[in-house]
Structure 1
């Protein structure tokens, strides 16, 4: 009985190791949801809402790997194109206003394939 339990636990542990990297991957829906509180600021400027900075900081924390940063970049560019009226200066300055340093500029001209 103990041998069978040990085998089951080993299989479960192996599955967790294999699946964990994929479960942690950043998705566009996560990027969009974290940035949703920022859309009014991105259009109109003014004071950055605390919920927006919380989202920016959370997104920065979630994008730990190069593939995640590339995904975040691509998703932000897609959202940027989808929502009319986003001010380019507001978008580019948002990370700094939230006290976050990201390794690329938030801009439609950013080449997300070069993000590291």
Structure 2
């Protein structure tokens, strides 16, 4: 009986450890992308600090949970910024030479980001 309990316990530990968890935090995402706000509101040119943040966040993605967390964080923070132009926001990755794994709009369902 103890062997069966031990096997069940080990199986549960393996299953729990196989599920990915987000390694990013919303605070990190916010810090990295705050320099992008002026471009998102006013246009002009994207600052080097903004592009550095975009590259940092893309390098930090370890799994889908990270991308979903970043999407939700960006979406939540963007909703608090008046006059934000989502077309410009979604151009930033390309302007910085970095692909973004999702587009951010008020209607984006971040739970579907892979």
TM-score range, shorter chain: 0.7 to 0.9
Contact 2:46 2:95 in 1 (8 A): yes
For 2:47, which of 49, 52, 72 is the aligned residue? 49
- For structure 2, list consecutive stretches of 5 or more residues without a partner in the other structure: 1-16
Deviation (angstroms), 1:56 = 0.6
Pairs within 5 Å for 1:56-67: 56-67=54-65
Contact 2:40 2:89 in 1 (8 A): yes
Please give the TM-score of this superposition, normalised by the length of structure 2: 0.78
SS in 2 for 1:40: helix
- For structure 1, list consecutive stretches of 5 or more residues without a partner in the other structure: 1-17
Aligned to 2:13: none
Runs of 4+ residues over 3 Å off in structure 1: none
Aligned to 2:89: 91
- Superimposed CA distance per residue, residues 71-116 of structure 1 (whole angstroms, 9 cap, x where no aligned partner): 0000000111011111111111111111111221122221101001
Bigger helix fraction: 1
Count, aligned residues: 96
